[in-house]
Structure formats: structure tokens, C-alpha cells
Structure 1
Amino acid sequence: MTSLSEDPSRLIGEPDRDTAVQRLREAYAEGLISHDVLDERLDQVLAATTHGDLAFALDSLPAEKAGTTSTLAAAGGRIRRRGAWRVPRFLKVASAFGRVRLDLSRAVIEHPVVDIELHIGTGKVKITVPRDAVVDVEGVRTGWKPTRYKPREHSGPDGPTIRISGVVGFGRLTVRHAWR
């Protein structure tokens, strides 16, 4: 994912726009901006084409809260998270070689959108998402085997959106929905 502090003339993509919309919604929910300001800023974000446009729409918002980004890293071996763990807004996962297993099915997900950025050299990555989650794997580049993911036909309207991006070199990313 790109940062809003980049070159202001650089064109934005949908993930950038979604992140900006989410920041506005969070600011409104926390009482930092009024409903009228939210409407005005959402219009600006939806019409934005460059990072400069987004920065203008978000300029009076406070910086994102500390602790909304976490990194799980290992040079080798396994990275595993399961059970009732707290999922940050942005999760970076880096492994030179080894297996990665993230089970979000019973995790505490406090954010409507969670971005998972993968930097995997060699190894399998398996991610289990909640049954009602909406998953976007368009931002993942694989060097060896294609990503395995079959979207659910009926995702719930209240489920989180899980956006997965990054690189999986020699290995495979498998994403599946939990049964329960």
C-alpha cells in the first residue's frame, strides 16, 4: 500500500481511496469531525485523482493512531497467529523462508478494513478469514504458484474487509473462509 506522503502528483488507486474513506469514517466516529465535514471530505476523496488531492481532503485530521500497524517477521521458521489475538489495522508479515499461518476466524478485529502486507521469500502462506469477511487479493504478486482463493457467494454486510497485498516469492498463498 502506498503512503499519502508520497509525490503529490502521483495518481492514486482504489486502495488509497479506500484508506482515505476509512480514515474519514474513523474521524467521524471518534467525534473529530461533524457530519457536514464528513460529507464534504468524502466528496473530495471520491473525486480525487492524485495523492495531493487526498492529502488536501485529510489535512486537518490527526495522524493515525500509534499501534495501528504491527509487523510479524522471521528470517526462517514459522510465523503463526491463532485464537483470540487482536488484529491491527495494518499488518506486515515478512519471512525469508518458512511457513506463515494466520487464523483470523476467532481473532478480535476492531477495524472494518484490515490490510495485510506480505513479504515472503520462500514458503507457504495460509490465511483463514472470518466467514462473513470480504477478501481482496488483487494486490498480491506471486513468483511461483498462483494464489488460491475462492470467494464466498454470500458474505455478510457486517463482516470486515481483508485486503491482502505484497509478494510471495517461491511458495503459495492460500486464503479460505472459516466454516463457522
Structure 2
Amino acid sequence: MSELQMRVSDEDRERTAQRLQRAFSEGRLTHLELEDRLEIALTAKTYGDLLGLITDLPDEQPPVSDVIELESKNGHLKRSGDWAVPRRLRVTSKYGSVELDLSEAVVIHPVVDIELDLTYGSAKIILPEGGVANVDAFQSDWGHAATGDVPSRPRPGALYVVVSGRTKYGGLTVRYPRKRWFTH
């Protein structure tokens, strides 16, 4: 029996369905094509059935790691620009500050968990416009946790960041990017 004739699992069907949905969101498939292919993907019996649905799509990029750990004893930890955000980010900093700018980052997960372990430092998280953040699980002994005008409840289609952890003497600020004013 060839590999194409082998039976697929529910996980194989779901993985193909997710790939088709990504292709639709990238503009590679029309809504009708997506519906037709999803119907076949969810009822596929063999790898050959699934392969026929994705052969005209480009190969996928390697997946972003599920968990990334960043650590610093006394330096400034900063991520900004075009960087890949994992589903779970663990950040440890004893004396330094942390700045995580998600406004231009590649975020493929609808929910991102950020766990902060800060002793004397503070953290700033910059969300893309429309993103939301829940900081209820973050504790600050002698500091603050400020979210300003950033909502904390999940919203359909919006990035949802859940911040947990603690700081002894620092604080946490979650905000949107600063508006740039141009003069002519």
C-alpha cells in the first residue's frame, strides 16, 4: 500500500483544514474554494485525498516555536519590529527592564500568554491596534499594572494577550503604539 492510500486521522484532517483557512486569509483561495475544500478535508479518508487539496498552495513556513524563554540578569530585554511571537513567552529579568512590542510582530496565535518574572525591573507591552490584554494574573508588590485604554475582555478576531507573573519593585504597562503626528 502506498503512503497516499494510508488512512488519515482527525488530527491530519484538522491540520489540513487550518492550512486551507490560512490560505483563504492570505487571499490564495476564494470563499467558495475554501468551502469546497474544507468539506473534502473534513471527510477525507486517505493522505491522497488531503494532498490533492493543498498541492497548489505554497509550502508552509516552519512553525513558530510554541514557547520561548527570554532571560536577563541586568540588561534591557527588547523585542520589536518584525519578530515571530510564540504562543507562550516566558520572560525573566532580575534588574533590567522588558519591552515587548507586538505592534509590527508576526502573531499567528489568537491568544498569546506572557509570563513575567521580574524582581527590580518593569515591563512594557505594546499591542497592535485593537488588541486586548488581561493582566489580572500579574502581581506587583511595590509597583503598578496599568492598561490605560486597552480592554481586557477577548474580542472576536482581535489578538488576546494574557499576562501573568510578578514583579517585586517594578511595574507593568500595556498600551497601544503612540500615534505619530506628521507636519508638512
Percent identical across equivalent pairs? 35
Which AA in structure 2 matches 1:142? S
Give the aligned length: 125
The equivalences for 1:74-93 within 5 A come to: 74-93=72-91
RMSD over aligned Cα atoms: 2.9
Match of 2:160 in 1: 161
- Give the one of 11, 15, 20 matched to 1:30: 15
Conservation of the 8 A alpha-carbon contact between 1:132 and 1:158: no
Match of 2:172 in 1: 173
Match of 1:110 in 2: 108
Quote how far apart the aligned CAs of 1:151 are.
Answer: 3.7
Whichever structure has more strand as a proportion of its residues is: 1
Quote how far apart the aligned CAs of 1:29 are.
Answer: 4.5
Give the distance between the partners of 2:117 and 2:169, measured in 1 at CA. Answer: 11
Match of 1:142 in 2: 140
Quote how far apart the aligned CAs of 1:164 are.
Answer: 0.4
Which AA in structure 1 matches 2:134? D
Conservation of the 8 A alpha-carbon contact between 2:114 and 2:164: yes
5+ residue gaps in structure 1?
1-25, 36-64
Give the distance between the partners of 1:115 and 1:155, measured in 2 at CA. Answer: 13
Match of 2:58 in 1: none
Quote how far apart the aligned CAs of 1:85 are.
Answer: 0.4
Give the distance between the partners of 2:164 and 2:150, measured in 1 at CA. Answer: 19
Give the distance between the partners of 1:167 and 1:152, measured in 2 at CA. Answer: 20
Q: SS at the partner of 2:119?
A: strand
Q: Deviations over 1:135-162 (max 9, x none)?
A: 1101101111121112446986322110
Report the TM-score, using the length of structure 2 for normalisation: 0.60
Give the distance between the partners of 1:29 and 1:163, measured in 2 at CA. Answer: 26
5+ residue gaps in structure 2?
1-10, 18-38, 40-62, 180-184
Report the TM-score, using the length of structure 1 for normalisation: 0.61
Conservation of the 8 A alpha-carbon contact between 1:127 and 1:175: yes
Quote how far apart the aligned CAs of 1:90 are.
Answer: 0.3
Structure 1 position 72 matched with structure 2 position 70: yes
Which range moved further: 85-94 or 166-175? 166-175
Which AA in structure 1 matches 2:167? V
Quote how far apart the aligned CAs of 1:84 are.
Answer: 0.6
